[in-house]
Amino acid sequence: MTANDPHRLRRVVVACVLMLGFVGVLCRLFTLQVLQAAELTARADRQHRKTVTVEGSRGGIYDRQGKVLAINMDVPSVFGVPASLENPSGVARDLARVLHVKADEIERKLRQERSFVWIARKLDPEQGRSLEGLSLEGIGTVMEGRRFYPKGPLLAHVLGFSGMDGQGLEGIERRYDSFLRGEKQLVVLQRDALGRTVFPKGLNEQAPSPGRSVVLTIDEVIQYIAEKELDEAVAATRAKGGVAVVMEPRTGAVLALAISPKFDPNAVRAVSPDRWRNRALTDAYEPGSTMKVFIAAAALEEKVMDPGTLIHGENGQMTVAGTVIHDHEKSGWITFSQVIQKSSNIGAAKTAMALGEERVHRYIRAFGFGEKSDIDLPGEAAGLVKETKHWGRRSLASMAIGQEIGVTALQLVTAVSAVANGGWLMKPYVVSEVHDGKGQAVVQNGPQVRRRPISVETAKTLTGILEGVVTNGTGGKAAVPGYRVAGKTGTAQKIDPQTGAYSPTLFVGSFTGFVPAEDPRLAIVVIIDEPHAEAWGGVVAAPVFRRIAEQALPYLGVSSRAPVKLAMAMGPEEAP
């Protein structure tokens, strides 16, 4: 190239331009491959991948005999990738026929500017099979665990239920959720350059670890008996509802907890949240005459009374603090035992007055009223026991007959168990063990003593008095042929929410007791809320106690014959 070359300048300019372009390309490549590499890689991943969280199967729940009460079934969940759909309307119509959902609702999801949308979660297996036959582009399924309760409504208030995302929402499902929930695992769904979903091979085979299983103290057979008898009683009395709790007095283990009306946890969306409530734990009520058991226990323990102490019945009417306390039958002088057996309000009030406010309050709290029992179920209420400084002039007499105090069914059966087992107040529980995937126990619950409110001598004496309630008192309908029964009836007026005064028509009838009295295996409380016609606890609740006990005792192998005591020949040196 000579100095006189007319194209020299042009070639220089072109060379410079090419050089600058080359440098620009190098700079851009450096920027993309070095400076922005991480950001662009992440952006590419977001465009071609979608991460979905899949949770391992939820652990099972079993009764004390190993019978299944709650399990997980693997069912399909269907999702869509909107960007890969050419005809969202047509796909929506096809899905609607299988899912039984309006097509326009599905179409709205499929037209979202998102890389992934759930269309329907945890379908019925039949729907999953129908979806497989459609083979729709941009639509996929993944298996998820769906909670199933094979016994339907049985034990629903104890089991509770879990939500769509596998989180326990009520009952055992909620209280033991951290154990029951399976391990979470991330599953990556990929899309090709055309936006079509490429599902990883073996997607449904990469299941994360399942949750742990829970074994209850509940016995399915006794639970069935309790629910059946309670439901029949509620229906026969046209009551608002009812509660029945069966407990092992020596351990505090709950064998059955029945609530009426009940619900099916498989179809929980169809019922009001009010129906889910475990009323045995959450609802406090004025117990009426069943509270006389614990006033009697205090009087015996403090030696204020003994079974033969005479109390005047005031011919059925006594004035206290400007109000009148009535008995359902007139009486003159009666023994302390008869006060309990005949359920004398006047006799109970006089007993409480002999004890005084401080001792009555102390023993009521000692039996667990006014505090939570710390049972392993959610939602427990403490009930209501006022401090003595808040008592009125009539409060002492009212407490003696089960007024001005709020207790739960669980508190009542736990307290009467303390009489049955010789004076020990136990901590109630419904879960005995939690097992890992290998069947090894990782949690074990057993009997726990909370305190001792009365001595074994007092418990024995009181048991004899309570046997008289059934053999010669208000609780005759609780008698179980072949067994000795100890218990107490209760009939309490409810507060009328309109007037704030005791209603003349709204009552709670109850019975609580234990059997066999000489060697208690079962403590039972039965509460019938607002029965029509007759409302006496001895009429509406005591028969339910009997029917539960007379079926449960033989099932547990408890002989109906009293043990035979053999007289052994002894020499003089062997005699006690």
Domains of the chain, residue spans:
50-84+116-216, 220-555
Give CA–CA dist 69/176, Å, rounded.
15
Structure tokens at 88: 């969202």
Whether the predicted pLDDT of 224 surpasses 80:
yes
User: What pLDDT, on a 0 to 100 scale, did the predictor assign at position 77?
Assistant: 83
Fold observed for domain 50-84+116-216: Penicillin-binding protein 2a (Domain 2) (3.90.1310)
pLDDT at 571 over 50: no
Helices assigned H by DSSP within 191-253? 220-237
Give kind and range of the element (H or E) at residue 552.
Answer: helix 542-555
Percent of the chain with pLDDT over 70: 86
pLDDT over 90, % of the chain: 63
A 10 A CB-CB count for 199 gives 13
List Cα–Cα distances, 370 to 198, 361, 387, 406, 494, in angstroms. Answer: 61, 10, 10, 8, 19
Active-site residue, selected from the candidate residues 213, 289, 373, 398: 289
Q: Is 398 a catalytic residue?
A: no
Rounded to whole angstroms, the Cα distance separating 472 from 549 reads 19
Find the range with the poorest average confidence among 172-186, 359-373, 447-461: 172-186
Which among 156, 173, 171 is positioned nearest to 262, based on CA atoms? 156
User: What local confidence, expressed as pLDDT, does residue 566 receive?
Assistant: 41
Would you place residue 152 in the very low, low, confident or very high pLDDT band (cuts 50, 70, 90)?
very high
Q: Are 364 and 370 spatial neighbours (Cβ–Cβ below 8 Å)?
A: yes
Q: What is the DSSP string of 413-439?
A: HHHHHHHHTTS-EEPPBSEEEEE-TTS
Give the fold, CATH level 3, of 220-555. Answer: Beta-lactamase (3.40.710)
Q: What is the pLDDT of residues 389-403, one digit of tens each?
A: 999 999 999 999 999
- Report pLDDT for 513: 98
| Residue 477 neighbours by CB distance under 10 Å | 19
How far apart CA 349 and CA 328 sit, in angstroms, is 14
Q: Does residue 243 contact residue 525 with C-beta atoms inside 8 Å?
A: yes
Fold match flag (50-84+116-216 vs 220-555): no
- Read off the pLDDT of residues 102-141 as tens digits, 9 standing for 90 and up: 888 887 888 887 778 888 887 877 777 777 767 777 787 7
Answer yes or no: are the C-beta atoms of 355 and 304 closer than 8 Å.
Answer: yes
The answer for residues whose C-beta is within 8 angstroms of residue 159's C-beta and 6 or more apart is 61, 69, 70, 149, 171, 172, 173, 265
Q: Look at residue 210 and tell me whether its pLDDT is greater than 60.
A: yes
Secondary structure E strands in 464-553: 486-495, 502-515, 522-529
pLDDT score recorded for residue 30: 66
Residue 206 is predicted with a pLDDT of 57
Among candidate residues 286, 222, 275, 229, the one with its CA nearest the CA of residue 253: 222
The number of residues in the chain equals 576
> What pLDDT score does 82 carry?
80
**pLDDT score for 185:** 67
What is residue 443's predicted lDDT score, i.e. its pLDDT? 94
State the burial class of residue 257 (Cβ atoms within 10 Å of its Cβ: 0-12, 13-18, 19+).
buried
Q: In this structure, are residues 476 and 540 in contact, taking their beta carbons and an 8 Å threshold?
A: no
Higher pLDDT residue, 144 or 152?
152
The pLDDT value given to residue 42: 57
Contact (Cβ atoms closer than 8 angstroms) between residue 424 and residue 440: no
Average pLDDT (491-512) is 92
pLDDT (tens digit per residue) in 55-100? 678 899 999 999 999 998 877 888 888 877 778 888 888 788 778 7
pLDDT tens digits for range 321-357: 999 999 999 999 999 999 999 999 999 999 999 999 9
Check residue 66 and give its pLDDT: 96
Higher-pLDDT residue of 252 and 34 is 252
Considering the chain, what is the average pLDDT of its residues? 87
pLDDT at 51: 62
Helices (H), ranges, 256-373: 273-276, 279-282, 292-301, 336-341, 345-355, 357-366
